[in-house]
């Protein structure tokens, strides 16, 4: 079932909403949770935020129908809810958004590549450690890269990170570039 | 991701997937709990009806039959429910009208009593009385007459009230308008040409044109 159709049925009232809740939940709950958790929210934070997102969707379904893309509307809600949460807990400033070119979640300082990290004996272990540091420092970029690995199209990623397709391509390119310092030091381990 | 021929690409991909594997596993592990919490929250917010469609599937045959019967009965009886509602409304209106009429009678009775209390001298009383029953009755006959009037008036929705009664003590003082052995009763309202009302009018020697009023009657005994 398309999201638009789900929104129409949600809008028809709470009684018919029970079946449509199951539909919506089956399609989107895991996607939304995965997205929030990949942004390095704690499990409790992600679950609370998920409830708020569901409430917004069920309360404002009619508004969603006014958008050309219901998916874009849904992910705007998710994006804004996450931004609101990060502002509330002080992880980004008042006017910043996640998936920002200014690296709102990342802070100003990008750590130098860690060399000689204990335990980085193989390429896999080294990259693992680098990726982990990258995801902790730049969760929004790691999330976007993961979406790309999950097979999402640029259009779909653009909907989820609330940017234009062109800006999304640029964001992904920048994300790859910013990943480099975290894993460059693993290069000599190729072949181990 | 770092270039098509970059040997780091597969390692990065593997690492990213490994990084998020625990997330995906955890999401699957708590699937039902999260879903039921979401559902409860939406119900609490009034955005979802508190009835699970799966309840219907899981319900016993007897329960489902009963529910279906209930649904059938409701739809079958819809016109009956509508008619019953109209009847209830009609009774409500009638009750309201009756109540209004009662209040009106009570108000007229009070007005009659008040008017009589303000009069002075026998002539004033007689002037305001619509009827005088001056046949010399005994006291118990007067009581019987009043009871007879009440019995006739009650089925007609009329009220009868002894608005003033003179006694040997107050005949010359507190109730100067009445002499000892006189009672004033108020009867009304007369609202139709019902034969029983005519009977009442004849009994009380009231004129015919007493429509829509409370009449004050002097009973002398």
Give yes or no for A59 touching B (CB within 8 A): yes
Give me the CATH topology for the region A3-88.
Rna Polymerase Sigma Factor; Chain: A (1.10.1740)
What pLDDT, on the 0 to 100 scale, is given for residue B69? 54
What is the tens place of the pLDDT at every residue in B22-80?
788 888 777 778 888 888 888 888 888 766 555 555 555 555 555 555 545 555 556 77
Higher per-residue confidence, B117 vs B194? B194
Structure ipTM = 0.76
Q: Which residues of B touch A180 (CB under 8 A)?
A: 2
**Phi and psi (nearest 5°) for B167?**
-125, 175
Query: Which positions ≥6 away from A188 have C-beta within 8 Å?
Result: none
Q: What is the pLDDT of residues A121-136, one digit of tens each?
A: 677 888 888 888 888 8
Say what the pLDDT of residue B131 is: 54
Angstroms from B38 CA to nearest CA on chain A: 6
pTM of the entire predicted model: 0.53
Which residues of chain A make contact with B45, given a CB cutoff of 8 A?
55, 58-59
Cis ω before A85 (30° cut-off from 0): no
- What CA–CA distance (Å, rounded) separates B23 from A38? 8
Chain B neighbors of A19, CB-CB under 8 A:
53
Secondary structure element (H or E) that encloses residue A88, with its range: helix A70-88
Q: Using CB atoms and an 8 Å cut-off, which of residues 162-181 of chain A contact chain B? A: 176, 179-180
Where would I find the H helices in chain B? 8-29, 31-44, 53-58, 61-76, 78-118, 122-128, 139-153, 195-203
Nearest CB neighbour to B49, from listed A17, A38, A145: A17
> For the segment A137-169, what is each residue's pLDDT rounded down to a tens digit?
888 888 888 888 888 999 999 988 888 999 999
**Residue range A48-98, pLDDT digits in tens:** 999 999 999 999 999 999 888 898 899 989 988 988 888 888 777 777 777
Q: How many CB atoms lie within 10 A of CB B4?
A: 6
**Contact residues for A147 (Cβ-Cβ < 8 A; gap 6+):** A156, A157, A160
Q: Which uninterrupted H or E stretch holds A54? A: helix A43-59
Please state, in angstroms and rounded to a whole number, the distance separating the CA atoms of residues A30 and A37.
10
Other beta carbons within 10 angstroms of residue B110's beta carbon come to 14
């Amino acid at each position: 079932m398309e999201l638009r159709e789900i929104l129409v049925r949600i809008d028809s009232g709470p009684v018919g909403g029970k079946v449509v809740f199951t539909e919506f939940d089956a399609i989107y709950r895991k996607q939304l949770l995965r997205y929030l958790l990949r942004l390095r929210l704690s499990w409790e934070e992600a679950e609370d935020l998920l409830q708020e997102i569901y409430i917004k969707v069920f309360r404002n379904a009619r508004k969603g129908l006014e958008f050309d893309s219901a998916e874009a509307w849904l992910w705007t809600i998710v994006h804004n809810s996450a931004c609101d949460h990060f502002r509330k807990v002080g992880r980004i400033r008042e006017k910043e958004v996640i998936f920002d070119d200014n690296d709102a979640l990342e802070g100003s300082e990008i750590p130098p590549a860690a060399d000689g990290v204990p335990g980085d004996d193989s390429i896999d272990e080294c990259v693992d450690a680098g990726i982990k540091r990258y995801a902790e420092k730049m969760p929004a970029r790691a999330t976007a890269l993961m979406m790309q690995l999950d097979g999402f199209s640029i259009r779909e990623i653009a909907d989820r990170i609330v940017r234009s397709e062109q800006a999304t391509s640029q964001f992904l390119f920048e994300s790859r570039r910013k990943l480099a310092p975290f894993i460059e030091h693993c290069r000599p381990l190729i072949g181990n | 991701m770092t270039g098509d021929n970059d040997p780091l690409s597969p390692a990065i991909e593997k690492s990213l997937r490994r990084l998020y594997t625990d997330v995906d596993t955890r999401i699957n592990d708590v699937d039902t709990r999260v879903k039921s919490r979401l559902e409860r929250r939406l119900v609490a917010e009034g955005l979802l009806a508190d009835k699970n469609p799966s309840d219907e599937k899981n319900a016993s045959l007897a329960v489902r039959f009963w529910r279906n019967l209930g649904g059938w009965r409701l739809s079958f009886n819809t016109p009956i429910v509508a008619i019953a509602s109209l009847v209830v409304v009609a009774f409500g209106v009638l009750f309201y009208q009756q109540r209004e009429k009662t209040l009106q009678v009570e108000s007229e009775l009070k007005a009659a009593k008040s008017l009589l209390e303000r009069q002075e001298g026998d002539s004033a009383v007689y002037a305001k009385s619509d009827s005088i029953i001056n046949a010399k009755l005994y006291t118990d006959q007067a009581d019987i007459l009043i009871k007879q009037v009440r019995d006739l008036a009650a089925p007609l929705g009329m009220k009868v009230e002894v608005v003033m009664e003179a006694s040997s003590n107050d005949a010359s003082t507190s109730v100067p308008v009445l002499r000892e052995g006189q009672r004033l009763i108020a009867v009304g309202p007369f609202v139709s040409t019902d034969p029983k009302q005519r009977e009442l009018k004849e009994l009380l020697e009231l004129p015919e044109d007493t429509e829509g009023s409370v009449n004050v009657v002097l009973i002398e005994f």
